[in-house]
Amino acid sequence: MIDMKWIRENPEKVKENIQKKFQTHKLHLVDEVRGYDEEVRKLKQEGDSLRSDRNEKSKQIGNLMRDGKKEEAESIKQEVNKMASRIVEIEEQEEKLQGKIKEIMMVIPNIIDDSVPIGEDDSKNVEIEKFGEPLVPDYEIPHHADIIARLNGLDKDSSGRTSGNGFYYLMGDIARLSSAMLSYARDFMIDKGFTYCIPPFMIRSDVVKGVMSFEEMDAMMYKIEGEDLYLIGTSEHSMIGKFKDQIIKEEELPITLTSYSPCFRKEVGAHGIEERGIYRVHQFEKQEMVVLCKPEEAMDWYYKMLNCTIELFRNMDIPVHSLECCSGDLADLKVKSCDVEAWSPRQKKYFEVGSCSTLGDAQARRLGIRTKGENGTYYVSTLNNTVLANTRALIALIENNYQEDGSVKIPKVLQPYMGGKTIIEPKK
């Protein structure tokens, strides 16, 4: 959410930003919200003037009553009563207008960084850099679901009976490998100086609305029937919500957290749920990182966080590349975002395994997260980045470590979490 003062003073820049995001249907909202803002300021000015006059006249009434001038005092009393009634009307009008302003402000997209490439959709995203050699072996690599099944590691028939499409059972060494990746990701981030946290896995609607757009919420979140609670789609929402309505001491910044959680997603949209494997599912586990910092430090943290994910995947012998998200592919709250994609030797292309984003003070403004320093109180900047999502990372690891005999090598960094095991072999 953008500062109303900034919109008031820079309407053309806000409109230009909307056009860069190819959301021309929202252009009228800029003038509309400025009109409401002007009305509010006029009402506020009138209300302040009336309150001042009322206070003065109330003093007069007291003096007149003391001097025995009851008729004159009664006349002024009637004026004061009219003023009071008008003040109530003004406050009611202000409240309605503020509600309209907030409603509009929640859908005007955040100002994107100048470095963001302009494009209508993800087909215009720009590759930044490759890390590791994307190799294709001279033997066939089966679909990941088939590989895992031959290792007795996946049971989707049973999950179909218990839960339906989009769920899965991971079994045996594959389940252990999934846990090993998450444990390694946790320890990796702790070694980077991040504080480990396990957050609540359900959050209230006011937190949901503070961290994401309405469109994202409807497409992603599962609502708990009869309660004001949603299952989290990613732990960053719960982690940012931790600081709702708080004033953080400036010397405590930056706050760097890494969190584990299960994630639950409806996955509504054209892409749908994958029938066979575990690429797009309703439930997975994730290690996340979140940073709250001073605005001037946000971009430095953005690149630090992005490099953490790249380093982690390279440590697991998985080639990746970074992809700059174009303007039309950015969610409305984001200032800048970059996807990390892992190489798929089976598909001979990269696929998304994580995303790093800086959101400026948009989430902090919605949730009331501020810091106080020598120069006063201001909103913090928030950032988030995927360390590792277990299902997609598992696919990348299995494909890139698949051997011709059907076995899967375990990267060295994961072997201590696998009891020293170096390879997973097909079951006879």
Q: Is the pLDDT of residue 416 over 50?
A: yes
Residue with tokens 């992603």: 220
- The first and second tokens of residue 78, run together, are 């009637």
Q: How confident is the model at residue 270 (pLDDT cuts 50, 70, 90)?
A: very low
Closest by Cα among 221, 242, 233, 192 to 368: 242
With bands split at pLDDT 50, 70 and 90, how would you rate the model's confidence at 275?
low
Q: Can you give the pLDDT at residue 287? A: 97
Contacts of 416 (CB under 8 A, 6+ apart): none
Which residues, in sequence order, are CB contacts of 422 under 8 Å at separation 6+?
409, 410, 415
Neighbours of 127 (CB within 10 A): 11
The alpha-carbon radius of gyration of the chain (Å, integer) is 28
Cβ-based neighbour number of residue 84 at 10 Å: 13
Q: How far apart are CA 148 and CA 198, in angstroms?
A: 29
With a cut of 90, say whether residue 213 has pLDDT above it.
Answer: no
Strands 370-373 and 247-249: parallel
Contacts for 3-7 with beta carbons within 8 Å, 24 or more apart?
3/361, 3/365, 4/33, 4/37, 4/101, 4/105, 7/33, 7/34, 7/37, 7/105, 7/108
CA distance 240 to 220: 18
- How many helices (H) and strands (E) in the chain? 13, 18
Residue type, 30: V
pLDDT at 153: 95
Closest CA relative to residue 186, chosen from 318, 289, 263: 289
pLDDT tens-digit readout, 28-78:
999 999 999 999 999 999 999 988 888 887 777 777 777 777 777 778 788
* Region 293-303 average pLDDT: 97
Q: What is the mean pLDDT of the segment spanning 280-307?
A: 96
Summarised one tens digit per residue, pLDDT across range 359-377 is 999 999 999 999 998 889 9
List of residues 6+ apart from 59 with CB closer than 8 A:
none
